A and B are shown apart, each in its own frame.
Chain A
Amino acid sequence: MKVLKRLTAANMIWVITAYVCLFLSIIIQFFWTIRIGMIADAIVSREKIEIKFMFIMFAILLASCLFIYLKSLAGKYATERMAHTLRMDFAGKLLKSEREAIGGYEAMSKAQNELTASSEGLSGIFDVIEQFLSGILALIFLLFANLRFTLIVLGPLIAVVLLINRIGKNLPGLVNAAMDKRISNNKTAYMIISNFEAVKVFGAEEFFEEKFKKELEEWGRLETKKERISAVTNSVSGILSQLPLLILFGVGALLIWRGYMTIGTLMIFLNMTGSFIRTITNLPSWVVRIKQFLVHLSRTDIASEIQH
């Protein structure tokens, strides 16, 4: 968290711009969804659609395009700047340290892995926040629009989340173990290269090959296990995430037949719920991702402290 705060503070203007654009682009999307619902209602009741209405639609579409563009531009720029700050901080510390540039293979290898993982994580985090925000805003909208209807759909959703959460429980530990193995593989490879002559003179090729193979196998084993669990998690969550929609359709159809709801409103609800469902089903994996990212980020600090 410390590192993240520092990175954000150093690039405040860009971070704020990115999030303002993000917020606006989501809100404008909502307007679009609502208008589409209104058109559907007009079609069903064979009303005439006014030219003015179409103009507004067109304006919303333009604004939406503009903000999606601005959001992704500002987001990428902010992310890149933060990653740059991170790398420069690290390089600066390295320069200031008394030791030779290579403060042990382990420290270097670790720091490089952590830096790469952190930079990748930074751009991933922006996507996560974007989806999370649009889900939450959708929920707020739904609660205000029709409290009872929303709550009926929410019930099964929470069950789904709990279920997926249980299946994916040992995933974070595995991911960490696999990453540590990768670092260790890296280390062995680097060790052989930088001590090539000693390895040859003392006939240690086999020893290192064996070591490398063992580590590779271990990593492969962890990676397969990880993939297997996430495959199960993903397919189960894929099937289960359809369940609330089914409920929504059923309840919605009933309400329309009874005249409590229009087709347009149901369309809006489907769209908004879809956005919220995505958020809820992905939430556990996002939490894991963010946690991992924060661990990597904090480790870049540890890695640079080793140098001193």
Chain B
Amino acid sequence: MEPIIFGENLSFSYKEKEILKDLNFAFKKGERVGIVGESGSGKSTFLRLLAGLLSPTEGVVSVAGETKAEGIIKKISMVMQEAMLMPLTIKENITLGKDVPKERINEVIKAAKLDGWIDSLEEGIDTYLGDRANEISGGQAQRIAIARAMLKDADIILLDEPTSSLDKETTTEVLEALDRLMEGKTVVHVTHHPDLLKGYDRIITVKEGRFYE
């Protein structure tokens, strides 16, 4: 089967500093790939290349048949370490201005396990997160980010340490929501915790700009 994600002689540099060197890789559809490695080894950089947020300095990256950044970015969904909440309502934070039917929003809210909390709010989903964005818990914030990612319903899910800023208990809740997000998708998950990668198909270690499996 044709791989859904692959790289050929892929290199990436910030200015003169070469971060990723001549990588060749291929991920199959539905595969779960874990990426580990020391801080600064280039894990996030790699994920940004897969997301179409960066373009390779040399070589090719292909994601769901797209090789241009503008094309790639449409095919993926992403959850990062920071939830990236904005001073908008909960609903706007999830939809980011897109016209989405109410049922669909309720669906992702349930799947992201946000329904209990949102029901307890006086203004529900229309609660403004302006100054309160730093009052809501890290777990809640991250689950909003997950709901946002679910709504995009891309075939490829990219995760960049989505639980690393959370404590143990919240991590469990967020992981449950993440499981729902990853159902039936191709997943690339960057993390410092190999125990989060149990049951993954492949685990790649990034070291000095190269991949080791």
Contacts and interface: CB of A to CB of B under 8 A. Distances in A.
Contact of A191 (B53, B86, B97): B86
B3 to A, nearest CB: 22
B87 A202 contact: no
A1 interface: no
B202 interface: no
B130 A200 contact: no
A198 B51 CA distance: 11
A261 to B, nearest CB: 65
Given A201-B77, A202-B152, A210-B97, 15 more contacts: A104-B133, A106-B130, A191-B86, A191-B87, A197-B51, A197-B53, A197-B80, A198-B80, A201-B76, A203-B73, A203-B96, A203-B98, A204-B97, A208-B97, A306-B131
Contacts of B48: 197
Interface string B76-89: 11101000101100
Interface in B79-120: 80, 84, 86-87, 96-98
Nearest to A103: B134
B87 A104 contact: yes
Contact of A104 (B73, B131, B145): B131
Nearest 9 pairs between A and B by C-beta? Answer: A207-B97, A204-B96, A198-B84, A195-B84, A191-B86, A202-B96, A201-B78, A104-B134, A106-B131
Contacts of A207: 96-98
Interface of B: 48, 51, 53, 73-74, 76-78, 80, 84, 86-87, 96-98, 130-131, 133-134, 145, 148, 152
11 contacts: A99-B134, A197-B80, A197-B84, A198-B84, A198-B96, A198-B145, A199-B96, A201-B76, A201-B77, A203-B73, A306-B131
Contact of A106 (B73, B74, B87): B87
Contacts of A105: 87
B5 to A, nearest CB: 16
A187 interface: yes
A211 B53 CA distance: 23
Nearest to B133: A104
A200 B84 contact: no
A206 B80 contact: no
Interface string A257-290: 0000000000000000000000000000000000
Contacts of A103: 134
A199 B77 CA distance: 12
A213 to B, nearest CB: 13
B131 A107 contact: yes
B131 A200 contact: no
Nearest to B145: A198
B134 A201 contact: no
B73 A200 contact: yes
Contacts of B80: 197-198
Quick one: which of B53, B73, B74, B96 has the most chain A CB within 10 A? Answer: B96
A103 B133 CA distance: 9
A230 to B, nearest CB: 31
Contacts of A195: 84, 86
Quick one: which of A105, A197, A210 has the most chain B CB within 10 A? Answer: A197
A201 B86 contact: no
Contacts of B145: 198
Contacts of A198: 78, 80, 84, 96, 145, 148
A211 B87 CA distance: 12
A202 B76 CA distance: 9
A54 to B, nearest CB: 68
Contacts of A204: 96-97
Contact of B148 (A106, A202, A206): A202
A285 B123 CA distance: 41
Contacts of B133: 104
Contacts of A211: 97
A156 B57 CA distance: 77
Contacts of B96: 198-199, 202-204, 207
Nearest to B70: A200
A106 B87 CA distance: 8
Quick one: which of A104, A187, A191, A202 has the most chain B CB within 10 A? Answer: A202
Quick one: which of B51, B80, B84, B86 has the most chain A CB within 10 A? Answer: B86
Nearest to B148: A202
Nearest to A209: B97
Contacts of B73: 200-201, 203
Quick one: which of A195, A198, A210 has the most chain B CB within 10 A? Answer: A198
